[in-house]
């Protein structure tokens, strides 16, 4: 059975178990128990996560970083990670993942709801566009979760304007599982 590693922040954590259910019998799906946070943190931890499946290296890695990187404290400070730093760190993460021989899938950062104070969709769109161009240049398929969640932001996000609602978890889980299944 193929092994699938899911890497990402709390959005990934919300759909990890459901994706494993949807792919039961087709793939062994796992992901870190912790939040993979921002790109620098993922770069720091990636070596351990790539080997955490117990049964060897993953065949497929579905990966995202971004929302922590675009965060601004109190709306007055520059983003936590500049766009140039983000692209550099993401390239380094990709290079580490590529060493495994796994098929890599990148997922775009999901939008936030109107009024979310630590990030805005304009910046998310800028970072998504830049990393999507880079992933395209590496022939890495891009799962556009931003586009999916943007179709019903109020329905797909919960009251904190950031995390997925139950409806959002189900929609995103189905999209992630379908995308992975095409790569099995």
Q: What is the pLDDT of residues 79-135, one digit of tens each?
A: 999 999 999 999 999 999 999 999 999 999 999 999 998 999 999 999 999 999 999
Mean pLDDT value across residues 5-14: 97
Domain interval for residue 23: 2-183
Other residues' Cβ atoms within 10 Å of the Cβ of residue 82: 11
pTM over 0.85: yes
Summarize the chain as % helix, strand, coil (round to 5).
50, 10, 35
Quote the longest CA-to-CA distance of the chain: 48
Tell me the mean pLDDT in the region 26-34. 95
CATH of the domain at 67: 3.40.50.1110
Q: How far apart are CA 155 and CA 143, in angstroms?
A: 20
pLDDT tens for each residue of 48-81: 999 876 567 899 999 999 999 999 977 678 899 9
Q: How far apart are CA 183 and CA 38, in angstroms?
A: 26
Cα-Cα-Cα-Cα torsion 28, 33, 34, 37, nearest 10 degrees, comes to: 20
> How many folded domains does the chain comprise?
1
């Amino acid at each position: 059975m193929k092994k699938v590693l899911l890497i990402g922040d709390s959005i990934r954590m919300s759909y990890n178990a459901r994706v494993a259910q949807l792919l039961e019998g087709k793939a062994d799906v796992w992901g870190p128990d912790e939040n993979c946070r921002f790109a620098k943190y993922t770069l720091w931890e990636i070596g351990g996560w790539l080997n955490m499946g117990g049964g060897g290296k993953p065949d497929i890695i579905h990966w995202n970083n971004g929302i922590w990187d675009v965060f601004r404290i109190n709306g007055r400070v520059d983003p936590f990670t500049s766009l140039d730093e983000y692209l550099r760190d993401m390239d380094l993460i990709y290079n580490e993942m590529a060493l495994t021989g796994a098929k890599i899938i990148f997922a775009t950062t999901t939008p936030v709801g109107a009024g979310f104070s630590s990030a805005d969709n304009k910046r998310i769109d800028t970072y998504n566009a830049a990393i999507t161009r880079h992933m395209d240049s590496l022939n890495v398929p891009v799962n556009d979760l931003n586009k999916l969640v943007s179709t019903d932001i109020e329905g797909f996000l919960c009251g904190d304007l950031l995390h997925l609602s139950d409806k959002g978890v189900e929609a995103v889980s189905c999209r992630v599982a379908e995308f992975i299944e095409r790569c099995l």
